[in-house]
Amino acid sequence: MKKLSFIFLLFIGFAFSAKAQHDPSDQIVSANWDVIGEVEFKMAKDDSEMYAIFNNDIKKRAGKPFELEGYIVPIKDGMKQTKFMLSTLPINQCFYCGKNGVPIMVEVQLTEPTKFTYQTIKVRGTLKLSTANALDASPISLINGKVVK
């Protein structure tokens, strides 16, 4: 019986580790995500601060309507979300576990709450860039956002 239990747990472990692997077909790719992905970051010499370096391509879009499709990564608990991170990979792909790296993410602030979902959503809002310490606040945000159906 012990051996059977061990084998069962072993298979369950493999199933969970398989789900944690990155599935390339889940990755959201778009021209707007490419613009976001071009942002570079510079660490202070003592690693206490990090700043975004914005190129001209993203700077010219700042303060204007911008649309992204992605996956909700909640900042707070709850089924209804108004402020969250939007990612190019789904939350169940375990991008914090060290296997896949951290995907591109943008902070989203909606004018009306939306239900949490594991499916992608499309959001339209005003692109906001911040030169503050990126370790304290998101350097790229979509503010006054609305979910596009």
pLDDT in tens, 17-66: 344 455 667 788 999 999 999 999 999 888 889 999 999 999 999 999 99
Pair type for strands 140-148 and 121-129: antiparallel
Residue at 16 is within a domain: no
Nearest partner of 143 among 77, 68, 71, judged by Cα: 68
Is the pTM higher than 0.85? The answer reads no
Residue 10 has pLDDT above 90, yes or no: no
Residue at 71 is within a domain: yes
Residue at 12 is within a domain: no
**Domain that includes residue 106, residue range:** 22-148
- The per-residue pLDDT for 21 is 52
- The per-residue pLDDT for 18 is 40
What element of type H or E holds 4? helix 2-20
Question: Cα–Cα distances in Å, from 3 out to 6, 9, 12, 26, 107?
Answer: 5, 10, 14, 36, 48
Residue at 34 is within a domain: yes
**Residue-wise pLDDT tens digits, 69-110:** 999 999 999 999 999 999 998 877 654 544 555 667 899 999
**Are 141 and 107 spatial neighbours (Cβ–Cβ below 8 Å)?**
yes
**Are 108 and 83 spatial neighbours (Cβ–Cβ below 8 Å)?**
yes
Residue 3 has pLDDT above 60, yes or no: no
Structural domains counted in the chain? 1
CATH number at residue 122: 2.40.50.140
Q: Which residues on neighbouring strands pair with residue 143, listed in sequence order?
A: 126
**Are 140 and 127 spatial neighbours (Cβ–Cβ below 8 Å)?**
yes
